[in-house]
A and B are shown apart, each in its own frame.
Chain A
Amino acid sequence: MVKYILKRVAISIGTVFILATVTFFLVKLLPGDPFQNPTIPAQIQEKQRAYYGLDKPVAEQYFIYMGNLLKGDLGYSLKKTGHTVSDIIGMSFPVSATLGITSLIFSVSIGLLFGTLCAQFKNKWPDYLLMIVAVLGIALPSMVIGPILRNLLGVKLGILPATGWEKPSSAIMPAFVLGLGVIAGNTRAMRASMLSVITQDYVTTARAKGLSPMQVVMRHQFKNSLVPILTSLGPQIASTLTGSFVVETIFRIPGMGKYFVDSISNLDYTMIMGLTIFFGSFLVLMNLLVDIAYAFVDPRIRFA
């Protein structure tokens, strides 16, 4: 197992390196130029490009960037003048991560609970009721439910702060909105997964041994239903913790999500690269943890 993990860590570093390379050249293919601006004289634009080394051949730029990356230097943002990419990520990631963790804890546990209930009461009224809840949760996306909740709870009733990120209670509404889809997805996935476990022989055996229904559900069914949930949890954690463009815009939260869209529409090359490398490393790490967790949750899964 230790050997497998070490090998995977080495491969993961290679994966992120290839990801960075592919993204670097794709970004250069995007139409437009970061310093194109009709109101600024062409000579100044040239100077700006030269300052950031964008006048050099793409291959040379690539080697300079990779050299800096190895030293841990992600460079300066082309658009937020004077800020390094690492600074921007360092400032905004804790905000997004706090919000993301709050949201995930709440939504994953509710999703698993709902899914278990659905499977236990299959095709009875609790199943149908929870399905309608789940369907509403995904049929109303965050860009719709967010403004409605903000105006209702934040402005009209004034129970929770409508926008901003000053008080701990500021996190409640965005975390809820962010978690709706996760609740719905996990409810449905858990229901399906548990239904395929319920008919297994070892569950019948557990019942025949005289275990209480609660013990059968928790010890024999719940744990064995987790594998498919784990698979989707890896990318889910990575994307939730790195922020959501829509939710952060609605609730004016100084998180990381907006940079993912802004940097691409602004052609902020260094920012795009920094974010991709950061998100990519996170994703690769999460998928590695998921693969390791497989073996713990289900001993039948073995990796050579």
Chain B
Amino acid sequence: MDDARENDFEPLGESRPDAELILKRQTTYLGDVWRSFCKNKAALASLFAMAALVAFVVFGPMMRPFDYFSNDYSAINMPPDRIHWFGTDTLGRDLWERVWVGGRVSLLIAILGTIIPEFIGVAIGGLSGYIGGKLDMLIMRTVDILMGIPSLIYLILLMLVMGSGNILTMIISVSITSWMGSARSTRGLVLQIKNRDFVTASETLGASPFWVIFRHLIPNTMGMRVVSITIGIPGVIFYEAFLSYIGLGVTPPNPSWGQLIKAAAEQFRYYPYQFVVPCIFIGLSMLCFNLIGDGLRDALDPKLR
């Protein structure tokens, strides 16, 4: 036995002092997220599809010799053909142009209008849930009050102050009406995890509340939050259509997806293509956002690491 042991091991010479060195470059948190995101084929494909959609929204209108606001009364309600690729609407405006130009507003609002209130809501909800006690009570009752005031009232007041029709007003109106939901939801999730061992461990090691909330609690809620962000996007797209109905949204002739659908729904039975085309793009971007969201959920979830 002693002989065998002697032969099995080879003394490591003094010449290799760097044996402990890790040659592979250390990955950052985001690098790691990206690596696991790429493993999900559906999510990666959706990311490319989304990029293509954005490219069309930006460059699509330049591909045809029309614009989104000029009427052509000789070509009213034309079905899709070789000249008007998506057909024309009741005023003879080219729908290819209107769909892509409308996508600019809709996608911009969809993305900013979900991310901004999410940031506000997660920060406030995380603080409320973790600190608890009186602060939690104060914040949550304030949220109750703000949720209770009919949003139409402060939308009208906001319109008076900010003026209507610009993207900034719309994003602010979406943000002030929707951050409360994400604050409540984040707080609920934080309540559920704040008594877990990893939080106690971090507290025992002397971590500041700020560190615990933003380093430990919020990353653990991200999985759920990403899903509600992606599920909320069409709501925001149609909320914009509602805003333009009360005079806060984009003003005609400027299009948006929500407005195109609303206008076409009235005569769906006669000109279904006017309705179907924008619906397909909302559906497609929704599907992409959801698949990307699922991929992100898996990649962000610290429990799956």
Which residues of A does B touch, CB under 8 Å?
Answer: 11, 14-16, 18-19, 22-23, 26-27, 29-31, 123, 128, 131-132, 134-136, 138-141, 143-144, 147-148, 151, 181, 184-185, 188-189, 191-193, 195-196, 199-200, 227-228, 230-232, 234-235, 260-261, 264, 272, 275-276, 279-280, 283-284, 287, 290, 294, 298, 300-302, 304
Contacts and interface: CB of A to CB of B under 8 A. Distances in A.
A140 B185 contact: no
Contacts of A195: 223, 297-298, 301
A144 B241 CA distance: 12
B290 interface: yes
Contacts of A264: 150, 152-153, 156
Interface string B286-298: 1100110010011
Contact of B265 (A132, A147, A230): A147
B130 to A, nearest CB: 13
B238 A227 contact: no
- Which secondary structure dominates chain A's binding surface? helix
A230 B145 contact: no
Given A196-B223, A228-B224, A264-B152, A132 B301 contact: no
B141 interface: yes
B181 A232 contact: yes
B191 A138 contact: no
B231 A188 contact: yes
Contacts of A136: 283
B137 interface: yes
Interface of B: 40, 42, 132-133, 137, 140-141, 144-145, 147-150, 152-154, 156-157, 160, 181, 184-185, 187-189, 191-192, 195-196, 223-224, 226-228, 230-231, 234-235, 238, 261-262, 265, 268-269, 275, 279, 282-283, 286-287, 290-291, 294, 297-298, 301, 303-304
Contacts of A29: 157
Q: Is the interface of B mostly helix, strand, loop or mixed?
A: helix
Contacts of A134: 290
Given A138-B286, A192-B223, A199 B231 contact: no
B148 A232 contact: no
B188 A141 contact: no
Closest 4 CB pairs of A and B: A280-B148, A231-B188, A192-B227, A139-B283
B151 to A, nearest CB: 10
A129 B46 CA distance: 16
A260 B231 contact: no
B224 A192 contact: yes
Contact of B188 (A230, A260, A261, A300): A230
A30 to B, nearest CB: 6
A139 B237 CA distance: 9
B178 to A, nearest CB: 11
Nearest to B145: A19
Nearest to B284: A139
B140 A275 contact: no
14 contacts: A19-B149, A29-B157, A134-B290, A138-B234, A147-B265, A185-B228, A188-B228, A189-B231, A227-B189, A227-B191, A231-B188, A264-B150, A275-B150, A301-B195
